Amino acid sequence: MTNHKEWSITCRDLTGRRRDLTVFVRQGRIILVAPPGETAVLNPLDVGRLRAVLRDAVVEASRTQES
């Protein structure tokens, strides 16, 4: 079993329902999973959170590639 970090960012779809964007790192690559068949709508604060998560994922991916 491979351990990996995973983050979740709350968002809304086009009809206003709560959804989540998921970001995780596997084998040195950053994977972004959007709600299936949906569009993720982010407010400015959520975009800031996504940016921070992506930065953390880049750091984690770099560590994974060095191992």
Task: Report the amino acid identity of residue 39.
Answer: T
- Expressed as residue numbers, the domain containing 54 is 6-66
Q: Is 62 a member of any domain? A: yes
- The total number of structural domains in the chain stands at 1
User: What CA–CA distance (Å, rounded) separates 67 from 5?
Assistant: 15
| pLDDT on residue 2 | 52
Q: Is 20 a member of any domain? A: yes
Q: Is 1 a member of any domain? A: no
Average pLDDT over residues 29-40: 83
Query: What is the rounded end-to-end Cα distance, in angstroms, of the chain?
Result: 16
Residues constituting the chain:
67
pTM above 0.85, yes or no: no
Whether pLDDT at 35 is above 90: no
Q: Is 31 a member of any domain? A: yes
Q: How many CA atoms lie within 13 A of 41 on its CB side?
A: 7
For the stretch 1-23, pLDDT in tens is 456 689 999 999 889 999 999 99
Q: Is 57 a member of any domain? A: yes
Average pLDDT over residues 17-43: 87
User: What CA–CA distance (Å, rounded) separates 16 from 22?
Assistant: 18
Q: Is 17 a member of any domain? A: yes
